[in-house]
């Protein structure tokens, strides 16, 4: 437990470039073995280049994307003809799965604040799938980059009411509260009147807040009004949001919660019937 906490703090304290270098060096031997054993996939980067979480081999990365697709079909009824927006598209984990699902009438747009990820997706996925588009947006995020432009002022570069479905996996867990509120306003603007959004969060409420705060790890020790952070310096390291506060934030931007599917990140004893680690929130426009 203590070891995990020390590793996490060590990781938070590295600069963005140091994180990329440490990851490359750490995974070099296993990436080498993957290469010689053929454990690779042309759409999946080497483990040392997967900057979006704990790097897995190609087969596991593809499986994780397939799982995300299953969540989208199960909870927001994703259709093969939908026009979709993937906020924080990372290194293409969800996009790869969607290439086998969206047909020529459907289309995918993804954006992210890390250039390496977007460059990879453009050179591998967009090249082979013309209805897939990835945009690099140079916005600041203290976990991922050293950009200057603020996400709290960013206007999504898409038309009003363009998307049937909007989603974000493990992105609102790495952003600041004002940024998330702004993204809710932008989701409201770009979603079709009957569109739906699925996003994952770390959510807590008055009942489980003390338990979460008092456990030895993943306890979000820095408390603010309505949210808690994992680290004071790297504010985007991880954020947990109070359920009522989230509801208010969505409501303020003309959105409403349709459903919450609790994840197992906060279980005392893991409930194996739960489908996802983070909490899933399905939301839509209030007047739809």
* Residues in touch with ligand SAM (CB under 6 A): 52-53, 87-88, 90, 93-94, 111-114, 117, 139, 141, 144, 151, 169-171, 174-175, 179
CB of residue 47 vs ligand SAM: minimum separation in angstroms? 14
Per-residue tokens: 57: 């081999």
CB of residue 112 vs ligand SAM: minimum separation in angstroms? 5
Alpha-carbon distance of 52 to 211, in angstroms, equals 28
Alpha-carbon distance of 87 to 43, in angstroms, equals 19
Assign 285 to helix, strand or coil: strand
> 91 or 246, CB closer to ligand SAM?
91
CB of residue 193 vs ligand SAM: minimum separation in angstroms? 24
Whether 120 contacts 96, CB under 8 Å: no
> 258 or 276, CB closer to ligand SAM?
276
> 62 or 250, CB closer to ligand SAM?
62
CB of residue 27 vs ligand SAM: minimum separation in angstroms? 17
> 147 or 288, CB closer to ligand SAM?
147
> 111 or 220, CB closer to ligand SAM?
111
CB of residue 187 vs ligand SAM: minimum separation in angstroms? 12
Name the E strands within the chain. Answer: 83-87, 107-112, 132-136, 163-168, 191-201, 203-204, 222-224, 227-229, 239-242, 255-261, 279-285
Q: Which of 117, 101, 112, 280 lies closest to 196, judged by CA?
A: 280
Whether 204 contacts 243, CB under 8 Å: yes
């Amino acid at each position: 437990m203590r070891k995990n906490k020390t590793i996490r703090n060590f990781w938070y304290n590295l600069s963005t470039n140091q994180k990329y270098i440490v990851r490359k060096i750490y995974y070099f031997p296993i990436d080498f073995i993957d290469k010689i054993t053929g454990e690779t996939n042309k759409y999946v980067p080497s483990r040392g280049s997967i900057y979006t979480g704990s790097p897995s081999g190609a087969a596991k990365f593809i499986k994780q994307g397939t799982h995300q697709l299953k969540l989208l079909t199960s909870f927001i009824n994703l259709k093969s003809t939908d026009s979709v927006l993937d906020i924080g598209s990372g290194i293409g984990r969800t996009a790869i799965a969607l290439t086998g699902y969206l047909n020529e009438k459907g289309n995918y747009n993804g954006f992210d604040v890390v250039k390496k990820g977007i460059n990879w997706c453009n050179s591998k996925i967009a090249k082979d799938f013309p209805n897939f588009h990835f945009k690099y947006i140079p916005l600041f995020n203290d976990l991922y980059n050293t950009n200057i432009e603020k996400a709290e002022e960013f206007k999504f570069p898409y038309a009003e009411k363009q998307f049937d479905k909007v989603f974000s996996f493990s992105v609102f867990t790495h952003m600041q509260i004002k940024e998330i509120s702004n993204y809710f306003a932008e989701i409201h603007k770009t979603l079709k009147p009957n569109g739906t959004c699925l996003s994952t969060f770390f959510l807590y409420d008055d009942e489980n807040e003390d338990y979460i705060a008092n456990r030895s790890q993943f306890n979000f020790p820095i408390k603010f009004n309505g949210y808690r952070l994992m680290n004071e310096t790297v504010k985007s390291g991880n954020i947990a949001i109070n359920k009522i506060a989230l509801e208010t934030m969505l409501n303020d931007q003309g959105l409403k919660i349709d459903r919450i599917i609790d994840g197992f990140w906060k279980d005392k004893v893991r409930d194996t019937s739960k489908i996802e680690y983070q909490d899933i929130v399905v939301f839509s426009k209030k007047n739809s």
